[in-house]
Structure 1
Amino acid sequence: MVSPLHTEATATLEAWKPESAAQEALRQSYLGFLAAREDACERSCAAGHLTASTVVLDASGEHVLLTLHPRVGRWLQLGGHCEPEDSSLAEAALREATEESGISGLRLVPEPLHLDVHPVTCSLGVPTRHFDVRFVAMAPEGARPVVSDESEELRWWPVRELPPDSEDLTELIAAALEAKP
């Protein structure tokens, strides 16, 4: 049986119109994966599963909050797995960003910002893929992040001076700057 989250994820991606041909190709791939797998939003789907992440910008839009991911060992945007109680990808992205940052009052743009598929070994303990649906949110003025058990460190980085080995975030953060609320 298809979950409400699966139905909502499909509707969200059907409605979203990306700016680039590469993102459109990924959107079509996600829709094909969702059509083929009723469990595409569940962590237990070993073939891969949808995840949700958020680029968190400070109130000025001049800094991005990144987490030093303990398993990956790199600075990344906040995000993670969808949970059974999530009713939408946007809700999952906001929940993950709030949990991982410790910041309440994040304002999320409810439409997807960017898509990315990447190989990972997550909680299943076997290689899989994350079909990440990425969003953008603005933090309230003066927001101070609090490190959770899901990160080694959290830090505000100037949007034009990202940490080393984060070149793959450049396109994502540029898109976030254009879409910020």
Structure 2
Amino acid sequence: MTLHDDAALVLAGYEGQDELSALYLDHLRTHPDGMWKACTDGHITASAMVIDPGHGRVLLTLHKKLRMWLQMGGHCEPEDVTLADAALREATEESGVSGLTLLPGGPVRLDRHHTPCAWHLDVQYAAVAPPGAVAAISDESLDLRWFAYDEVPDVADKSVVRLLEATLARL
């Protein structure tokens, strides 16, 4: 099974956001290269909100190019076998936290947004940090910081707030 096939299966089984998931599936049907950054009509991306439920906080990155506080995430890579693998890889690389585990049940949300490279059709997961997790900033970030749940609306945009709300509901 290819990453493209996995993405189609994940999105076909995703419950909620029907219009958006249909748009993602249509994108995959019409773009055999729709998983990759090279697809200038847009591409599927994978992200994960890193959460520490024991301390009531989330880890956000101040994205170097976009200069916004965001969850960890980005482009799929050829070595990614599944969308979940891509989200976990991105979360681990950008947070520096080892031992992250994705919440069960598949993606938490979908979010389509325009970036400097193209439309991102983001498939958003949530990853739980292990006890005592230590974060380390990556070269893709200007900063990396833990925020209490109630601080997120003050620093991040509505898409990150919606992802946090959906993550907390999943917990």
TM bucket (normalised to shorter chain) is over 0.9
Matched-pair contact (CA < 8 Å) for 2:70–2:156: no
| Alpha-carbon offset, residue 161 of structure 1 | 1.3
Change (3 A) 1:154 1:8: same
1:106–1:138 CA contact under 8 A, matched in 2: yes
Long gaps (5+) in structure 1: 123-127
- In structure 2, give the amino acid aligned to 1:17: E
Superposed displacement of residue 153, structure 1: 0.6
Q: Are 2:111 and 2:159, in contact at CA under 8 Å, matched by a contact in 1?
A: no
Structure 1 equivalent of residue 99 of structure 2: 105
Moved more, 94-103 or 166-175: 166-175
CA contact (8 A) 1:61 1:177 kept: no
What is residue 164 of structure 2 aligned with on the other side? 173
Q: How far apart, in 2, do the equivalents of 1:15 and 1:165 lie? A: 29
TM-score, length-scaled by structure 1: 0.89
CA RMSD of aligned residues (A): 1.3
Instruction: Give the number of the structure whose residues are more often helix, by fraction.
Output: 2
CA shift at 1:15, angstroms? 1.1
Q: Indicate whether 1:129 and 2:119 are aligned.
A: yes
Paired with 1:160 and 1:59, the residues of 2 have a C-alpha distance of 13
Q: After TM superposition, list the pairs within 5 Å mapping 1:67-86 onto structure 2.
A: 67-86=61-80
Q: Does 1:65 align with 2:56?
A: no
Q: CA 1:129/1:61 → structure 2, altered by over 3 Å: closer, same or farther?
A: farther
Residue matched to 1:115: 110
2-structure distance, mates of 1:149, 1:165: 20
Distance in 2 between residues matched to 1:114 and 1:35, nearest whole Å: 21
The residue aligned with 2:37 is 43
User: Which 4+ stretches in 1 moved above 6 angstroms?
Assistant: none
Q: Is the 8 A contact 1:79 1:96 kept in 2?
A: yes
Q: Provide structure 2 residue ranges, at least 5 long, that are not aligned to the other structure.
A: none
The answer to whether the aligner puts 1:55 opposite 2:49 as a matched pair is: yes
Q: TM-score, normalised by structure 2?
A: 0.94
Aligned residues: 169
